[in-house]
A and B are shown apart, each in its own frame.
Chain A
Amino acid sequence: DVKVTQSSRYLVKRTGEKVFLECVQDMDHENMFWYRQDPGLGLRLIYFSYDVKMKEKGDIPEGYSVSREKKERFSLILESASTNQTSMYLCASSFLQQPRGRRSYEQYFGPGTRLTVT
């Protein structure tokens, strides 16, 4: 079974703090993703990575950065937390889509981190 784990289920931080969210997957997936999910807005992609040390901006990268030093680990960093970053943060992973290769590249999600910034 695919296993994606996240470092915390619930986190409470103060405005201005630096926040680290960690995600680890054990399926040797190339791709890893960070989303946030807010009521009425659905899942929004923050950043994704298709390889170690590689990263691509998603739809809402402002105020966030990421780090991928090892294939299995993808970290999301809030440089200076603000109240509008209170949200559910979801990590996901998948195999890399290949033009003529494996077609099974569904994304698997971790349990999520509910972050509250006060």
Chain B
Amino acid sequence: QKEVEQNSGPLSVPEGAIASLNCTYSDRGSQSFFWYRQYSGKSPELIMFIYSNGDKEDGRFTAQLNKASQYVSLLIRDSQPSDSATYLCAVAPSNTGNQFYFGTGTSLTVIP
């Protein structure tokens, strides 16, 4: 079982819709969760991080964390073509110091 799992997609949504990206993790003691966006040929760029159960909003992005169910999600409201990218979920487990575990990413395409 992988430490962090994401649906690889591709996920396609029309412009203006809500895109929902999901991530599950195996280490119940994980404390910190991160979402990165990666455009084709570029390096990952941090979008958001979340530590506490519940929702965290930043502009059009909302991260949701449910530690009991061991999942974290990213919602993108009013999706734009410029949001088309691969989204990586990263988890900092409880016992590995400062390493992250990354999912393999979900490819999102926003159709104009």
Contacts and interface: CB of A to CB of B under 8 A. Distances in A.
A42 B42 contact: no
Contacts of A31: 98
Contacts, number: 49
Given A41-B104, A42-B103, A97-B92, A109 B44 contact: yes
Contacts of B34: 106-107
Nearest to A31: B98
The SS class assigned to the A binding surface is loop
A49 to B, nearest CB: 10
Contacts of B100: 107
Contact of A107 (B90, B103, B105): B90
A100 interface: no
B43 A111 contact: yes
Nearest to B8: A40
Contacts of A112: 42-43
B49 interface: yes
Contacts of B32: 103, 105
Nearest to A108: B46
A48 B44 contact: no
B79 to A, nearest CB: 23
Interface range for A:
20 to 34
Interface in A81-97: 90, 94, 96-97
Contacts of A43: 44, 88, 102
B104 A96 contact: no
Contact of B98 (A90, A105, A108): A105
Contacts of B46: 106-108
A41 B88 CA distance: 12
A106 to B, nearest CB: 5
Interface of B: 32, 34, 36, 42-46, 49, 51, 88, 90, 92, 97-100, 102-105
12 contacts: A42-B102, A43-B88, A43-B102, A50-B97, A90-B44, A94-B98, A106-B34, A110-B43, A111-B42, A111-B43, A112-B42, A112-B43
